[in-house]
Copies of this chain bind each other. A is one copy, B any other.
Amino acid sequence: MTLSVDLSNILEQRVECGVSEEELDDVDGELRSNHDELREKDPGFLTVPEDVDVDAVEALADDLRNDFTSLVNVGIGGSALGGRTLVEALAPDADVYFVDNADPSLLADVVDEVELADTVFVVVSKSGSTAETVANYRVVRELLQHEGLDPRRHSVAVTGNPDAFDVSRVVEFPDVPGRYSALSVVGLLPAAFAGVDVEAVVEGARDGMTRCRKPSLHDNPGYALAAASYVLGERGFDVSVMMPYSERLEAFAEWYAQLYAESLGKERERGRYGLTPVRALGTTDQHSLLQLLVDGPRDKQVTFVDAPAREDFDVPGDDYLAGASLDGLREVELEATRTSLTESDVPNVRLSIDLVEEDVGELLYTYMVAVAAVAELAGVDAYGQPGVEHGKELARDMLESGGVHSEGTLFGL
């Protein structure tokens, strides 16, 4: 199987305020006319599946697996989420960990879990100066030294600033924004160490390239997803709920949230833009968010991702559950929730994949194309993140001046 997309339930035949044939044609025309510009603006991610040196990634991963049994990825945001997505989807039991928070309890947990002597730390930062990553990595070096271990031997850096870290091996961070790096060495190295067949991931991404090179939403799944996101957003469905029905795709929903939030949440001349990503998990969040989706404000579009589990159990009994399996129940709940939302006029999209390397690679590639295409339609720059710079400066100022300063409390209890 490959990735399939079903947009039926965004159409006016199915939901109130749905999309008409005419509007689909209009947005298809816009996508076609933006097609070349999108490719011209590409900062490099479109060709990553062709450019990436998979053999080198696999050779490095093999090398590291000869010397180490655990890998800890020290990186945050785009320097963590691609790898986490691949590992959780495809090798969830691997001894691969992600330290992606300044909260010291995360590093403490990971250090408790691994044997330092058998662990390689992959420090990932394009600039080489991300505060959380630098701080965590410095602590890691001290912990290694304290155990009599050589920090250089236990460290690999993936960075665009080769002088930033004193490590035994430096790998070049590719020239793409962090959130578009999942299919490069940034995402593939931890995955390969975890035992994921990264060649197959990249093959799937190449299938995605072939499909997403087409200029029309009728052939290009990235453009089809972009059209749904954008047109629905324009009519007020600007909260985008990503709801995989798979425990293995929780990290994918986080990756998606970063990709959509950072790429689309922008100021532009004709006003602010953005689709608000909400992460959900089926069937669990049927018991959490569903009530709001059904009866709350009509500002949500929902994307279901169906991914059959790799294991299953039969459910015994002599009632309505008889003959079902747990995974069959998961599937039925997805369809029932989808139908129920459609009947309540909540537009929704259904994606299907198998939890195999090729499909996950295609899924990630397709969404990167989708978000770039939404950005073209909306007239925003998909690749910067200017809004976060001021906070970084404030943090640095506070650290240099010795600690927290705030404006004081006007109203507290």
Contact = CB atoms under 8 A, between A and B. Distances in A.
A136 interface: yes
Given A296-B276, A315-B138, A320-B396, A261 B284 contact: no
Contacts of A68: none
Contacts of A292: 261-262, 264-265, 274, 276, 387
Contact of A324 (B77, B135, B245, B276): B135
A60 to B, nearest CB: 25
Contacts of A246: 103, 105
B387 A313 contact: no
A332 interface: yes
Contacts of A390: 294, 340, 343
A333 B276 contact: no
Nearest to A111: B313
A368 B262 CA distance: 32
A82 interface: no
A311 B7 contact: no
A332 B403 CA distance: 7
Nearest to A386: B295
A140 to B, nearest CB: 9
Nearest to A249: B103
A59 interface: no
Interface size class of A (residues with CB under 8 A): 35 or more
Copies per complex?
2
A399 B246 CA distance: 20
B321 A406 contact: no
Contact of A329 (B102, B267, B387): B102
A101 B286 CA distance: 10
Interface stretch (A8-16, A29-37, A41-49, A198-206): A8-16
A142 B316 contact: yes
Contacts of A258: 287-289
B412 A309 contact: no
A404 interface: yes
A218 interface: yes
A336 interface: yes
B333 A102 contact: yes
Most B CB atoms within 10 A — which of A178, A221, A262, A276?
A276
A378 to B, nearest CB: 11
Nearest to A295: B387
Contact of A299 (B276, B296, B335, B386): B276
A247 interface: yes
A403 to B, nearest CB: 7
A224 interface: yes
A139 interface: yes
A321 B101 CA distance: 16
16 contacts: A4-B413, A7-B410, A8-B409, A8-B412, A13-B410, A93-B112, A102-B330, A103-B283, A104-B325, A139-B314, A272-B297, A272-B298, A274-B297, A276-B292, A286-B388, A343-B390
Given A4-B412, A8-B411, A293-B387, 17 more contacts: A6-B409, A7-B411, A8-B412, A77-B287, A92-B109, A101-B330, A104-B312, A104-B313, A104-B326, A105-B248, A131-B321, A134-B317, A134-B321, A261-B292, A267-B295, A320-B396, A338-B406
